[in-house]
């Protein structure tokens, strides 16, 4: 569904220019030339964001914001002002504006401000949902009654009340972020923000600006100041996923934040005081990385005050059925299906499969199977071939006495049609280069 925007601006040229800009970027945009027109529009529709000039005929933009917020408390407002006055900006922010920009309006700047505000609101909404889930019982994803999961839930409950930093270890897809969210939701910081950051998904040269923010003119393209995620997370929890992928230079700067609880924006001269709890996660062996110098040993000591290991799905096969039923219930409504369960032979295949992608892979398989299901159950024909006909590689290896080399060959052949090269390498605990060398040595070509 397209996002909806209301643009309140008495200057017709700017009003229509902004409308064209955001329609081009996928918004539905309505316009108003005064606060009175904006009230009429707001009564007839719900907007994701409202952009307003401060100087309007009749009632000004700040008064309009205060009145509209009485109707929609969490409405996003972006203010445009022609006056480079901190008093004007503060007045707008106190009235409930999320951010402001100065005239002349630069298209790239206002697009960035709008997207950042929408992202912050989405995170806040998600936090509220997760807190409700926490009050109902188990947070989404931490499902099961196996000994491994009971132990994990117990650890989470104990760690949540502590102030210490936490390092979460586990294979790809085991639910490390869900564990981090559960810790945050059970802590005294639960009312504060929870900010997840995937260190491996953001290029190193951009990650510093994302974390620390930057001042205007700090580098080419920094047309305005930007808050960093550390500052946005003040009073809450920062979750740094895949911290093992962070470069040494940025590790050094992160260490200073952990030690001093101060953040200095890129290009800035003054540090900001923050109050943050750090939860980090990785599927890599950071202790080995610390020994070989690719990860700072002093940083490891700081993040590794408490360690939680998330079990992989192979360790808790008895949880596959409740997890499958949870995902069936979750996705049936979303996909317009009326599936209520899974056949015994399909369940047996799921329980026999090795799940190299863990819970995330099971989630994807159930969603796919629901699309193929024609009745009210998922049967064996709905499952992918590699799951229908799979035998546990680990069981087979144990029965036949496979060498590590034989096991690795079979692993690559079994999963190369359903997993990426990166995920296969991660599941085997090797680099992509090492995987390529093994393929070359054994004559195993990559599938198209």
Residue range 161-178: mean pLDDT, rounded = 90
Task: Tell me the percentage of the chain whose pLDDT exceeds 90.
Answer: 39
Same domain, 375 and 416: no
Residue 376: DSSP 8-state: S
- pLDDT score recorded for residue 135: 47
Looking at per-residue pLDDT, the higher value among 425 and 125 belongs to 425
Residues 375, 292 within the same domain? no
Q: Give pLDDT, residue 392.
A: 53
Calculate mean pLDDT across residues 304-324: 92
Residue showing tokens 């995170």: 123
**Residue 137 above 50 pLDDT?**
no
Do both 351 and 212 map to the same domain?
Answer: no
Residue 206 belongs to domain with CATH number: 3.40.50.300
DSSP structure string for 356-373: TTHHHHHHHHHHHHHHH-
Tell whether the model's pLDDT for residue 108 goes beyond 50.
yes
- Reported as half-sphere exposure (CB side, CA atoms, 13 A), residue 230 has a value of 26
Say how many domains are in the chain.
4
Last residue of a domain, one of 274, 309, 344: 309
pTM for this entry? 0.60
Q: Is the pLDDT of residue 275 over 60?
A: yes
What is the span of the domain harbouring residue 234?
Answer: 141-309
16 vs 408 pLDDT, higher one: 16
Are residue 276 and residue 416 in the same domain, yes or no? no
Can you give the pLDDT at residue 231? 92
Going by the DSSP 8-state scheme, the letter that residue 275 receives in this structure is -
**Do 167 and 303 reside in the same domain of the chain?**
yes
Domain for residue 75, yes or no? yes
* Structure token digits, residue 205: 């040269």
Q: Which residue has the higher pLDDT, 166 or 222?
A: 166
In a domain, 116, yes or no: no
Mean pLDDT of all residues belonging to the chain: 85
Last residue of a domain, one of 266, 288, 309: 309
**Cis before 152 (ω within 30):** no
Whether 113 maps to a domain, the answer reads no
For the segment 123-137, the average pLDDT, to the nearest whole number, is: 53
* Any domain includes 395: yes
Residue 86: Cβ-neighbour burial (10 angstroms; 0-12, 13-18, 19+): exposed
Instruction: Tell me whether residue 82 is in a domain.
Output: yes
Round to whole Å and give the CA distance between 135 and 402.
Answer: 48
> Using CA atoms, how far apart are residues 184 and 194, in angstroms rounded to an integer?
7
Are 169 and 289 contained in the same domain?
A: yes
Last residue of some domain: 289, 309, 329?
309
* pLDDT number for residue 258: 93
Report the pLDDT value the prediction gives residue 136, as an integer from 0 to 100.
Answer: 44
User: 350 lies in a domain?
Assistant: yes
Is the confidence at residue 22, as pLDDT, over 80? yes
Q: Are residues 352 and 373 in the same domain?
A: yes
Residue range 103-108: mean pLDDT, rounded: 88
What CATH number corresponds to the domain at position 402?
A: 1.10.10
pLDDT for the residue 299: 94
In the chain, % helix, strand, coil (3-state, to 5) comes to 50, 15, 35
Residue 178 CA to its chain's centroid (Å): 10
Ranking 82-86, 109-113, 187-191, 439-443 by mean pLDDT, the lowest is 82-86
pLDDT band at 327 (very low <50, low <70, confident <90, very high): very high
Q: Are residues 73 and 44 in the same domain?
A: yes
* Residue 122 within any structural domain of the chain: no
Of 400 and 333, the one with more pLDDT: 333
Kindly tell me if the per-residue pLDDT of 130 is higher than 70: no
Condensed to tens digits (0 to 9), the pLDDT of residues 352-382 reads 888 888 999 999 999 999 988 888 899 988 9
Same domain, 146 and 256: yes
> What residues contact 85, with CB distance under 8 A and at least 6 apart?
none
pLDDT of residue 443: 82
Give the separation between CA 66 and CA 83, rounded to whole angstroms.
20
Q: Are residues 376 and 404 in the same domain?
A: no
Domain identity same for 270 and 145: yes
Rounded to whole angstroms, the Cα distance separating 92 from 311 reads 49
In DSSP notation, 304-343 reads: -SEEEEPPPGGGGGGGHHHHHHHHHHHHHHHTT----EE-
Residue 1 pLDDT grade (very low, low, confident, very high; cuts 50, 70, 90): low
**Residue 322 pLDDT greater than 80, yes or no:** yes
71 vs 134: CA distance, rounded Å: 29
pLDDT-derived band at 298, boundaries 50, 70, 90: very high
CA distance to 142, 183, 218, 256, per residue, from 214 (Å)? 37, 30, 6, 17
> Using alpha carbons only, how large is the chain's radius of gyration in Å?
26
Residue 351 reports pLDDT greater than 80: yes
Does position 289 have pLDDT exceeding 50, yes or no?
A: yes
Q: What's the CATH code of the domain at 23? A: 3.40.50.2300
Q: Assess if residue 334 is contained within a domain.
A: yes
Note whether 172 and 67 are same-domain residues: no
Stretch 304-311: mean pLDDT, rounded? 92
Among 23-37, 63-77, 221-235, 411-425, the range scoring the smallest mean pLDDT is 411-425
The single-letter DSSP state of residue 274 is -
- Residue 216: the pLDDT is 86
Closest CA to 6 of 113, 83, 25, 40: 40
What pLDDT, in 10s, does the model give residues 377-397? 999 889 987 787 665 555 555
pLDDT at residue 140 above 50?
no
pLDDT tens readout for residues 26-41: 999 999 999 999 998 8
């Amino acid at each position: 569904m397209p996002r909806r925007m209301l643009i309140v601006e008495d200057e017709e040229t700017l009003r229509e220019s902004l409308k064209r800009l955001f329609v081009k970027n996928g918004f539905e945009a309505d316009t108003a030339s005064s606060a009175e027109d904006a009230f009429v529009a707001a009564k007839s529709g719900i907007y994701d964001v409202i952009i307003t000039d401060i100087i309007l005929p009749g009632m000004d933009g700040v008064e309009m914001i205060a009145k509209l917020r009485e109707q929609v408390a969490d409405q996003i407002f972006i203010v445009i002002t022609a006056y480079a006055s901190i008093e004007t900006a503060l007045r707008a922010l106190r009235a409930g504006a999320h951010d402001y920009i100065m005239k002349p309006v630069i298209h790239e700047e206002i697009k960035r401000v709008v997207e950042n505000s929408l992202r912050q609101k989405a995170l806040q909404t998600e936090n509220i949902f997760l807190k409700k889930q926490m009050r109902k019982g188990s947070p989404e994803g931490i499902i099961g009654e196996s000994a491994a999961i009971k132990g994990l839930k117990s650890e989470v409950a104990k760690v949540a009340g502590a102030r210490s930093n936490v390092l979460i270890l586990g294979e790809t897809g085991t639910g490390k972020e869900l564990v981090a969210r559960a810790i945050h939701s059970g802590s005294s910081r639960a009312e504060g923000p929870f900010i997840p950051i995937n260190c491996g998904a953001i290029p190193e040269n951009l990650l510093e600006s994302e974390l620390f923010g930057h001042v205007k003119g700090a580098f080419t393209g920094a047309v305005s100041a930007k808050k960093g995620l550390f500052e946005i997370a003040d009073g809450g929890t920062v979750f740094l996923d895949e911290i093992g992928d962070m470069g040494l230079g940025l590790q050094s700067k992160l260490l200073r934040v952990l030690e001093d609880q101060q953040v200095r924006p890129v290009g800035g001269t003054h540090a900001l005081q923050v109050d943050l709890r750090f939860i980090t996660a990785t599927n890599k062996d950071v202790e080995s990385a610390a020994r070989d110098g690719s990860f700072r040993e002093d940083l490891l000591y700081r993040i590794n005050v408490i360690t939680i290991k998330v079990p992989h799905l192979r360790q808790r096969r008895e949880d596959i059925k409740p997890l499958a039923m949870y995902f069936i219930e979750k996705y049936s409504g979303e996909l317009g299906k009326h599936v209520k369960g899974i056949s015994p032979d399909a369940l047996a295949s799921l329980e026999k499969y090795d799940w190299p992608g863990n819970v995330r892979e099971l989630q994807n398989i159930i969603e796919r199977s629901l699309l193929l299901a024609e009745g009210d159950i998922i049967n064996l024909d709905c499952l992918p071939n590699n799951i229908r006909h799979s035998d546990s590689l680990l069981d087979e290896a144990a029965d036949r006495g496979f060498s590590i080399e034989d096991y690795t060959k079979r692993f690559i052949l079994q999963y190369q049609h359903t997993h990426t090269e990166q995920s296969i390498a991660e599941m085997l605990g090797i680099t992509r280069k090492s995987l390529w060398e093994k393929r070359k040595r054994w004559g195993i070509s990559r599938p198209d």
